[in-house]
Amino acid sequence: MKTVIRNLSLIAIAALASSAAAQDRSQPHDLYANRDGRAFSFERSFPSLAACDSAARSLYESKRVLGAGCKPSTATPPSGAPNRGAEAAADPKAGTPERPR
């Protein structure tokens, strides 16, 4: 009985891990590259991790960049500025504490 439960547990864990990996592969990924030796910057988006990884490897092996890597795309634009929401964009002083007078 213990072996049956252990086997079912292993199957469940494997199924969850493979579904998480499949979701990650189908998610769009952004390519970041380090061209100047100071910081990584956004290059472009790819429809899958495999396509992004291939482009990153190609860039790095061609010696056009010092480093390259991929990360899952987010809803936040890769401008470097944090996304403060629509109401904060309408009022630029929103969220800024006032100084005492």
Secondary structure (3-state) at 20: helix
Enter the pTM of the model.
0.50
Distance CA 89, CA 72 (A): 25
Q: Dump pLDDT digits (tens) for 22-80.
A: 544 579 999 999 999 889 999 999 999 999 999 999 999 999 899 999 999 986 655 55
**Exposure b/e, 33-45, CB count within 10 A at least 16 = b:** bbeeeeebeebee
Q: Which residues are 41's β-sheet partners?
A: 33
